[in-house]
């Protein structure tokens, strides 16, 4: 298994960030590569289908929404973006004590093509950094 993690301190309260993430839907409102996101259900077991701006589909299942610890976990059941399998993403939101959110977003996955390891790692890192910037923007607008 491979892992990529991105951590960022956002200049918005952790509760605002969590209120966005914990809904499970609306990913297209803050993640720049996502053009649309359809959520079916809520909480663990809910499914969502996200379509990228390039028209690629990601079919996901929400596995955990832990409000007490602000942990959101999802599994990507089907995707066409990268040569990966067994993909599980986790987002953890914490309060830095000064009114800002620290967000750790990491992805565990297996590579279907080992020669793509560096490109996959870089691509995920760049996407997640852009996603966290978008999440911060949306949380600020919600203030």
> Which residues span the domain enclosing 29?
2-141
pLDDT in tens, 50-82: 999 999 999 999 999 999 999 999 999 999 889
Rounded CA gap, 82 and 123, in Å? Answer: 9
Please count the structural domains in the chain: 1
pTM for this entry: 0.94
Structure confidence at residue 52 (pLDDT): 95
Q: What is the per-residue pLDDT for 143?
A: 64
What gap in Å lies between CA 99 and CA 94, rounded to an integer?
10
> How many C-alpha atoms does 14 have within 13 Å on its Cβ side?
21
Name the token pair of 72. Answer: 């959101």
Q: Give the pLDDT confidence score for residue 7 in this predicted structure.
A: 96
CATH number at residue 124: 3.30.530.20
- In the predicted model, residues of the chain with pLDDT beneath 50 are none
Residue 24, pLDDT score: 95
Contact (Cβ atoms closer than 8 angstroms) between residue 23 and residue 33: no
């Amino acid at each position: 298994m491979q892992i990529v993690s991105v951590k960022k301190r956002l200049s918005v309260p952790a509760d605002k960030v969590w209120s966005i993430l914990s809904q499970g839907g609306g990913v297209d409102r803050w993640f720049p590569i996502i053009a649309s996101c359809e959520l079916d259900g809520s909480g663990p077991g809910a499914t969502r289908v996200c379509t990228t701006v390039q028209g690629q589909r990601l079919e996901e299942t929400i596995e955990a929404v832990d409000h007490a610890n602000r942990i959101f976990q999802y599994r990507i059941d089907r995707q066409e973006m990268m040569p990966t399998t067994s993909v599980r993403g986790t987002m953890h939101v914490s309060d830095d004590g000064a009114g800002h959110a620290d967000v750790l977003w990491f992805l565990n996955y297996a590579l279907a093509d080992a020669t793509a390891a560096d490109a996959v790692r870089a691509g995920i890192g760049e996407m997640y950094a852009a996603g966290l910037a978008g999440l911060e923007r949306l949380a600020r607008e919600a203030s």
